[in-house]
Amino acid sequence: MQATQSSRRRKTVAMLAAMLGTMLLLSACNAGSTGGAPADPDRLVVALTGEPVNLDFTTTAGAAIPQAMMSNVYEGLVGVDQTGAIIPQLATGWETSADNKSYTFTLVEGATFSNGAAFDASDVKFSIERVKSDAWLNGLKSKMDVVDTVVVNSPTSVTVNLARPSQAWLYSMTTLVGAMFDPSGVEDLANTPVGTGPYQLESWARGESITMSARPDYRGPAPAIGHVTLRYFADAIATTNALSSGDVDIIYNMQAPELLSSFQANSAYQVIEGTSNGEIILSMNNKAKPFDDKRVRQAVLYAIDRKSVRDTAWNGLGTLVGGPVPPTDPYYEDLNNRYPFDPDKARALLKEAGAENLKIDFTVPTRPYATAVSEIVQSQLRDVGIDARIRSAEFPAVWLDTVFNRHDYQMSVVLAVEARDVLTMFNNPDYYIGYDNSKIKDEAAAADAADESNYVAGMQNVVRTIVDDAAVDTLFIFPNVSVAKAGITGLGANSVTEALNLSTIAWS
- Per-residue H/E/C for 473-498: EEEEECCEEEEEECCEECCCCCECCC
Structure-model confidence comparison of residues 207 and 151, the more confident one: 151
Read off the pLDDT band of 235 (50, 70, 90).
Answer: confident
Tell me the C-alpha distance between 204 and 186, whole Å. Answer: 18
Percent composition of the chain: helix, strand, coil (DSSP 3-state, to 5): 35, 25, 45
Q: Which residues pair with 280 in a beta bridge?
A: 415, 476
Considering the entire predicted model, what is its pTM? Answer: 0.84
Q: Are 91 and 78 in contact (CB under 8 A)?
A: yes
* Entry field: residues in the chain: 508
Portion of the chain with pLDDT greater than 90, in percent: 86
Read off the pLDDT band of 20 (50, 70, 90).
Answer: very low
pLDDT value for 113: 98
Q: Are strands 102-107 and 157-162 parallel, antiparallel or unpaired?
A: antiparallel
Among the listed residues 20, 476, 406, the one whose alpha carbon sits nearest the alpha carbon of residue 244? 20
Helix axes 368-382, 2-31, angle to 10 degrees: 160
Radius of gyration for the chain, computed over Cα atoms and rounded to the nearest angstrom = 23
Q: Residue range 377-385: average pLDDT?
A: 98
Read off the pLDDT band of 2 (50, 70, 90).
Answer: very low
Read off the pLDDT band of 82 (50, 70, 90).
Answer: confident
pLDDT value for 418: 87
Q: Are 45 and 249 in contact (CB under 8 A)?
A: yes
Structure-model confidence comparison of residues 275 and 18, the more confident one: 275
Q: Residue range 89-112: average pLDDT?
A: 97
Q: Are 347 and 385 in contact (CB under 8 A)?
A: yes
Position 14 pLDDT exceeds 70: no
pLDDT value for 50: 84
Angle at 33 between CA 27 and CA 37, to 5 degrees: 110
Cα-based distances in Å from 414 to 123, 410, 476 = 35, 13, 11
Q: Are strands 43-49 and 250-251 parallel, antiparallel or unpaired?
A: parallel
Angle at 128 between CA 127 and CA 129, to 5 degrees: 95
Q: Are 295 and 346 in contact (CB under 8 A)?
A: no
Q: Which stretches of 43-197 are DSSP H helices?
A: 64-69, 121-131, 169-172
Q: Residue range 343-362: average pLDDT?
A: 98
pLDDT value for 180: 98
**Candidate from 1-5, 65-69, 268-272 with smallest mean pLDDT:** 1-5
Position 308 pLDDT exceeds 90: yes
Q: Are 24 and 262 in contact (CB under 8 A)?
A: yes
Q: Residue range 466-472: average pLDDT?
A: 98
Q: Are 47 and 233 in contact (CB under 8 A)?
A: yes
Portion of the chain with pLDDT greater than 70, in percent: 93
Cα-based distances in Å from 481 to 27, 230, 443 = 21, 17, 36
Q: Are 138 and 59 in contact (CB under 8 A)?
A: yes
Q: Are strands 358-365 and 386-393 parallel, antiparallel or unpaired?
A: parallel
Task: Give the N- to C-terminal CA distance of the chain in Å, as an integer.
Answer: 54
Tell me the C-alpha distance between 52 and 319, whole Å. Answer: 27
pLDDT value for 9: 44
Q: Are 219 and 112 in contact (CB under 8 A)?
A: yes
For residue 159, the surrounding DSSP H or E stretch is: strand 157-162
Read off the pLDDT band of 36 (50, 70, 90).
Answer: low
Tell me the C-alpha distance between 264 and 260, whole Å. Answer: 6
On average, the pLDDT of the chain sits at 92
Read off the pLDDT band of 84 (50, 70, 90).
Answer: confident
Position 493 pLDDT exceeds 70: yes
Q: How many CB atoms lie within 10 A of CB 425?
A: 22
Among the listed residues 278, 317, 324, the one whose alpha carbon sits nearest the alpha carbon of residue 301? 324
Position 90 pLDDT exceeds 60: yes
DSSP secondary-structure letter at 178? G
pLDDT value for 255: 87
Q: Which residues pair with 392 in a beta bridge?
A: 364
Q: Residue range 476-485: average pLDDT?
A: 97
Side-by-side strand order, sheet with 279-284: 386-393, 358-365, 411-416, 279-284, 472-477
Q: Cβ contacts of residue 406 below 8 Å, gap of 6+? A: none
Q: Which residues pair with 286 in a beta bridge?
A: none
- What CA dihedral angle connects 458, 462, 464 and 467, to 10 degrees? -160
Half-sphere exposure of 258 (CA within 13 A, CB side): 22
Q: Are 444 and 462 in contact (CB under 8 A)?
A: yes
- Beta strand extents in 275-357 (DSSP E only): 279-284
Is-cis flag, bond preceding 221, omega within 30?
no
